[in-house]
């Protein structure tokens, strides 16, 4: 137990009296680890654990990872070193691994637009394990079973994508696993937040079949093995569930009805409707032959309107295959579909009108259902295992969901929402948080740790961390 005297410089009493104080420590506070031992804290996970943001892993982001925020608070109650495998610069790119630089915000064509930073990243694949061991073992791109995979840090397996460049940098050997390298440090306390990529990779590919959601049994087996091993030396810890990734701005920035009323001219609408007359007639013929139902014929029918917002023409692989009739599997998007952020440039060049939008740029209602079904199943597994092994549990899914409410999440007068660029929580990739977003996440972990283990770690102030940097 350590005792800290905290002094507040009340230079402006009116300012302090007008704000809510969300710090949970008094001026004179004794900090305790409670029933836990924070002396060797190790964090396992994916990009969200590493501090990844703006579509890259770079130094400033790593310094604002939620595990480091937690570790700094734990230092008041026994935590010692918490080392991070820092990248070489603030760009984040790894040229010899085809890893892009971070995104920055610029003004283009009169609007704020994220672009990839110019220049060349200086981080290489050279192994830096000798400068470790590293307590932040968040590996961008990792899925649940990857933390158990032998050779995940073998540079010879990068071309086949069996290895991960971020783990190649810090693996103790070419055959070690992430879990083995974590356990070699004999952690007394751990955080585990894994499973997002098991679903996210499917979502960011538009469910086009190029990647799949990890099946439930594989996830359960991997997650169980991780927890069994992490707790084998009596270590305590905290786990977090999986957010519904379709709540991320990456899937909400572009409206599902992208062509607003009056956006298309009367002549454009007339030309489009004429061009799809043959397709619509073919649907009637398919219906008459009982190849499709009346409902499917209506779902697939393409008619643009001047009086209301119009959906975009999309390819939907789950429609009945009518190739023999020369009819493509296309329809107009509805409010049940979600467009990926990457579709923005395609919509500007005729995509969705004269040319259908490819499957990789849209999540259909069915694909969204697949995501939400898997999320629910994963989270049930995580919560049950947390109870079984007496671990603290963090409901990140609800936190992210709250960002979509009218007022979002309010902290000391600052509102955080899931709005892209200006919402404060999400970074320029529309998926990973800003420093402020990670601070809100850190506070959820701290609350759960304190509640479960009777510790009294202080919260952090999200407003002191970085948000999106404007030009």
Query: Going residue by residue through the chain (471 aa), what tens digit of pLDDT does each one get?
Result: 444 433 333 333 332 323 333 444 444 578 999 999 999 999 999 999 999 999 999 999 999 999 999 999 999 998 989 999 999 999 999 999 999 999 999 998 888 999 999 999 999 999 999 999 999 999 999 999 999 999 999 999 999 999 999 999 999 999 999 999 999 999 999 999 999 999 999 999 999 999 999 999 999 999 999 999 999 999 999 999 999 999 999 999 999 999 998 899 999 999 999 999 999 999 999 999 999 999 999 999 999 999 999 999 999 999 999 999 999 999 999 999 999 999 999 998 889 999 999 999 999 999 999 999 999 999 999 999 999 999 999 999 999 999 999 899 999 999 999 999 999 999 999 999 999 999 999 999 999 999 999 999 999 999 999 999 999
Is 112 strand, coil or helix?
strand
Q: Which residue has the tokens 């925020």?
A: 69
User: Which tokens hold the place of 190?
Assistant: 């751990």
Q: Which residues contact 376 (CB under 8 A, 6 or more apart)?
A: none
Q: Please state, in angstroms and as integers, the Cα–Cα distance from residue 229 to each residue in 44, 171, 237, 385, following that order.
A: 12, 18, 12, 13
Parallel, antiparallel, or unpaired for β 136-138 and 41-45?
parallel
User: Ramachandran region of residue 256, left (φ > 0), alpha (ψ -120 to 50) or beta?
Assistant: alpha
What confidence score (pLDDT) does residue 262 get?
84
Cβ atoms of 187 and 53 within 8 Å: the answer is: no
DSSP for 238-290, please give it. EEE----GGGSGGGTSS-SS-B-TTTS-HHHHHHHHHHTHHHHHHHHHHHHTT
Q: Please state, in angstroms and as integers, the Cα–Cα distance from residue 238 to each residue in 33, 363, 404, following that order.
A: 14, 32, 25
Instruction: Please give the Cα distance from 267 to 196 (Å, whole number).
Output: 46
Each residue's pLDDT tens digit, 81-127: 999 999 999 999 999 999 999 999 999 888 899 999 999 999 999 99
Q: Which residues contact 46 (CB under 8 A, 6 or more apart)?
A: 138, 139, 140, 141, 142, 143, 193, 194, 196, 197
Domains delineated in the chain: 35-253+367-464 (3.40.50.1110), 266-366 (no CATH)
Q: Which residue has the tokens 């999440």?
A: 409
Instruction: Please give the Cα distance from 92 to 182 (Å, whole number).
Output: 24
Neighbouring CB atoms inside 10 A of 173's CB total: 14
What confidence score (pLDDT) does residue 28 get?
58
List phi, psi (to 5°) of 108.
-135, 130
DSSP for 303-319, please give it. ---SSS-BPPEEE-TTS
Instruction: Give me the residues paired with residue 409 across strands.
Output: 416
What confidence score (pLDDT) does residue 30 get?
87
Parallel, antiparallel, or unpaired for β 28-31 and 2-5?
antiparallel
């Amino acid at each position: 137990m350590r005792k800290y005297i905290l002094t507040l410089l009340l230079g402006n009493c009116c300012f302090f009296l007008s704000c809510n104080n969300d710090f949970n420590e008094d001026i004179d506070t004794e900090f305790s680890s409670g029933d836990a031992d924070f002396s060797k804290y190790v964090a396992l996970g994916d990009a969200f654990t590493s501090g990844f943001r703006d579509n890259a892993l770079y130094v400033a982001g790593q310094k604002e990872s939620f595990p480091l925020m937690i570790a700094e608070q734990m230092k008041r109650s026994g935590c010692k070193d918490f080392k991070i495998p820092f990248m070489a610069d603030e760009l984040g790119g790894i040229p010899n691994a085809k890893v892009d630089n971070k995104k920055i915000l610029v003004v283009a064509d009169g609007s704020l637009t994220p672009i990839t930073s110019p220049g060349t990243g200086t981080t290489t694949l050279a192994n830096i394990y000798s400068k470790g061991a590293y307590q932040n073992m968040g590996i961008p791109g990792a899925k649940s079973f990857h933390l158990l995979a032998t050779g995940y840090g073998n540079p010879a397996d990068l071309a086949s994508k069996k290895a991960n460049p971020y783990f190649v940098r810090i693996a103790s050997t070419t055959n070690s696993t992430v879990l083995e390298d974590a356990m070699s440090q004999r952690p007394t306390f751990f955080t585990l937040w894994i499973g997002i990529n098991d679903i996210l990779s499917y979502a960011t590919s538009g469910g086009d079949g190029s990647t799949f959601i990890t099946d439930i049994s594989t996830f359960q087996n991997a997650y169980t093995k991780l927890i069994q091993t992490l707790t084998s030396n009596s270590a305590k810890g905290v786990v977090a569930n999986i957010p519904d990734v379709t709540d991320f701005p990456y899937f909400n920035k572009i409206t599902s009805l992208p062509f607003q009323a009056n956006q298309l001219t009367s002549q454009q609408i007339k030309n489009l409707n004429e061009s799809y007359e043959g397709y619509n007639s073919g649907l009637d013929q398919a219906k008459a032959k009982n190849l499709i139902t009346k409902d499917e014929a209506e779902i697939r029918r393409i008619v643009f309107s001047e009086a209301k917002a119009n959906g975009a023409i999309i390819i939907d692989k789950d429609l009945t295959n009518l190739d023999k009739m020369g009819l493509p599997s296309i329809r107009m998007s509805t409010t049940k579909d979600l467009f990926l952020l990457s579709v923005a440039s395609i919509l500007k060049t005729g995509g969705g009108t004269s040319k259908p939008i490819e499957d990789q740029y849209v999540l259909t209602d069915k694909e969204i259902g697949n995501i939400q079904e898997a999320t629910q199943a994963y989270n049930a597994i995580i919560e049950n295992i947390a109870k079984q092994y007496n671990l603290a549990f963090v409901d990140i899914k609800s936190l992210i969901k709250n960002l979509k409410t009218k007022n979002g999440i309010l902290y000391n007068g600052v509102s955080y929402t899931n709005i892209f660029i200006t919402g404060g929580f999400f970074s320029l990739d529309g998926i990973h948080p800003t420093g402020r977003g990670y601070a809100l996440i850190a506070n959820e972990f701290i609350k759960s740790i304190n509640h479960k283990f009777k510790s009294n770690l202080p919260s952090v102030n999200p407003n002191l961390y970085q948000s999106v940097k404007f030009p």
